[in-house]
Structure 1
Amino acid sequence: MIKQDFFGVIFLATLESILAKGPQSELAEQDRQRSNKTQAMVNRVVSYVSLVDRAVQLLADPCSEPEAILDDLRFLLKKDPTRNLKGRKFERKKVKHAEQLHFYRYGKRINA
């Protein structure tokens, strides 16, 4: 059962990456035309969840039209892109030695 789940996740991730290539290139072309500072990327969470929701319709339902489902998926992939600024970093909180020692002495045992 675990092996089936593993191969199912691999299949869905591969299918998602294949389906995301087209909308990703369209988003890149829109960025070039608009000369944006940030690059729009397909939101992987939205694409994976939308694919999981429609996987049964796409693969097993004989009554549904696969092309209509694929068009719907492509629309959803382009609908809500993410944008990340290059070089954006958040500094880590500096922890004092006493706080770190207290965590290793007491907190680590509780969390483990």
Structure 2
Amino acid sequence: MKKKTLVLGASLNENRYSNIAIKRLRGNEIPVVAIGLRVGVVADVTIATEKVEFKDIDTVTLYLNPSRQEAYYEFIIGLKPKRVIFNPGTENMEFLKLLKENNIKSEIACTLVLLATNQY
């Protein structure tokens, strides 16, 4: 079973890392769901703009700066993912602590590097 991933902070802009991550995840046949500011499609993934109660999320990969993450703390914890990846620029000690308290693994890493080095 592939690790179903939620890309949080998804962008339609092809130059954004979240957009590239969606394409690379799908290129590796990893199921992807996404939430962003604008509705649209990247690869074959429809970006939602609302908090959707997705099922069976293995990984949440963050592309939101720390000041925008707080609105998603309870939502992400409620999804009960196995891990949350804090991509460069998204590091957030407060949220890392909350995840640990809820027995959710967290990684300060780059999704693109993890994929490129077969460590995802």
Higher strand share: 2
Larger RCO of the pair (alpha carbons < 8 Å, separation 6+): 1
TM, length-normalised to structure 1: 0.24
TM, length-normalised to structure 2: 0.23
Greater Rg, structure 1 or structure 2?
1
Higher helix share: 1
